[in-house]
Structure 1
Amino acid sequence: MQRITISVDEELLGLVDGLCARRGYASRSEAIRDILRETQAREAAAGDGDAPCVAALSYVYEHGTRDLARRLTSAQHHHHDLSVATMHVHLDREECLEVAVLKGRLSEVRAFGDSLVTQRGVRLGHLHLVRVAGHRHSHDPQR
């Protein structure tokens, strides 16, 4: 591991120290390494649309919005080849949280995620993409 020295202003140092306190990092170095890994993953996810990836798609939606639950379910069935698993949580009388684990080509996963979170009545959508090596698994006939 390499040791480096960086200079940051007081405001940025306060952000790092706050992150360390909130998340329980043992050192500033651990926090900065995680920040760099997150940046690397985000930039890699923006790359080649044919690259294989896994993703966690989370969104909150108003279940009372006309026909929304049916449209979301229909979209998931239409893209069954990308869906690994979905969890549905009732947050309160009006809102639900869904978390879907997806796997496929980056461009297809991103397009599917966008098609869900842009539906009227869906709020707080987030797609966390992670590129994966393209090696074949014995139980994965697509590769």
Structure 2
Amino acid sequence: MQRITISMDDDLAGELDTHMRLSGTSSRSEAVRDLVRRGLTSRAAGPAKAHCFGVVSCAIDQSVRGLAARVPQGRLERHDQTVSALSVPLDHTTSIDVAVMRGHVADISSYAEALFLERGVMHGALSLIPVAESAVHHRHGPGAAHEHTHPRIKSGF
């Protein structure tokens, strides 16, 4: 690990301390590492072919014509990338939708961008989690051993 020194004014240091309390970090160094990691991930999603999990969230106005059918259809068209989806009704016309996707950065990003451009989709956010895919050969339970992949979370792209 490298040591760096930074200077900040009292107001910014106070905001950092507030962030520490709210996030549960135990030191300023840990808080700064967390904020830098988040900032770098949001600015540079990584190589287009990098493996990732993507958490796609947005608010959806279900009263917009056809939108309530197009959103789940978009996930069905990507059934090999969709890990899970959740829709939480907020009122008579609005829901919060969350989808966990698995694939390459370019594929997950393009799905999210297309979704966020739909009329009636608001507050869209995409969070990308970099992973490395590794093939392993073992058994789960009493069955025969077989080979499959396991994702391993990486600290960055």
Tell whether the structures are fold-level matches, with TM greater than 0.5.
yes
Q: Residue 14 of structure 1 corresponds to which residue in structure 2?
A: 14
Deviation at 1:18, TM superposition (A): 1.9
Q: Residue 119 of structure 1 corresponds to which residue in structure 2?
A: 118
SS of 1:132 mapped into structure 2:
strand
- Equivalences for 1:18-29 in 2 at 5 Å? 18-29=18-29
Q: Residue 101 of structure 1 corresponds to which residue in structure 2?
A: 100
Deviation at 1:6, TM superposition (A): 2.1
- Looking at structure 2, the residues matched to 67 and 43 of structure 1 have their Cα atoms a distance apart, in angstroms, of 33
Q: Which has the higher contact order (CA 8 A, sep 6+)?
A: 1
1:5–1:131: structure 2 CA closer, same or farther, 3 Å change rule? Answer: same
Deviation at 1:10, TM superposition (A): 1.8
Deviation at 1:54, TM superposition (A): 0.7
- Looking at structure 2, the residues matched to 125 and 110 of structure 1 have their Cα atoms a distance apart, in angstroms, of 12
**CA contact under 8 A between 1:41 and 1:131: conserved in structure 2?**
no
Q: Which amino acid aligns with 2:11?
A: E
1:136–1:115: structure 2 CA closer, same or farther, 3 Å change rule? Answer: farther
Matched, 1:54 2:53: yes
Higher helix share: 1
What is the count of residue pairs matched by the alignment?
A: 139
Q: Which deviations, in whole Å up to 9, do the C-alpha atoms of 1:1-46 show, x marking residues without a partner?
A: 555432111222122022123223333222112112223433552x
TM-score normalised to the size of structure 1? 0.85
Please say which of residues 47-56 and 21-30 is displaced more in the overlay: 21-30
SS of 1:85 mapped into structure 2:
strand
Deviation at 1:100, TM superposition (A): 0.5
SS of 2:72 mapped into structure 1:
helix
Q: Which deviations, in whole Å up to 9, do the C-alpha atoms of 1:92-130 show, x marking residues without a partner?
A: 222101110000111011001111121100001101011
CA RMSD across the alignment: 1.9
Unaligned runs of 5+ in 1: none
- Looking at structure 2, the residues matched to 128 and 20 of structure 1 have their Cα atoms a distance apart, in angstroms, of 21
- Looking at structure 2, the residues matched to 103 and 14 of structure 1 have their Cα atoms a distance apart, in angstroms, of 38
- Looking at structure 2, the residues matched to 53 and 26 of structure 1 have their Cα atoms a distance apart, in angstroms, of 28
Q: Which amino acid aligns with 1:19?
A: H
Percent of paired sites with the same residue? 36
TM-score normalised to the size of structure 2? 0.78
**CA contact under 8 A between 1:58 and 1:125: conserved in structure 2?**
yes
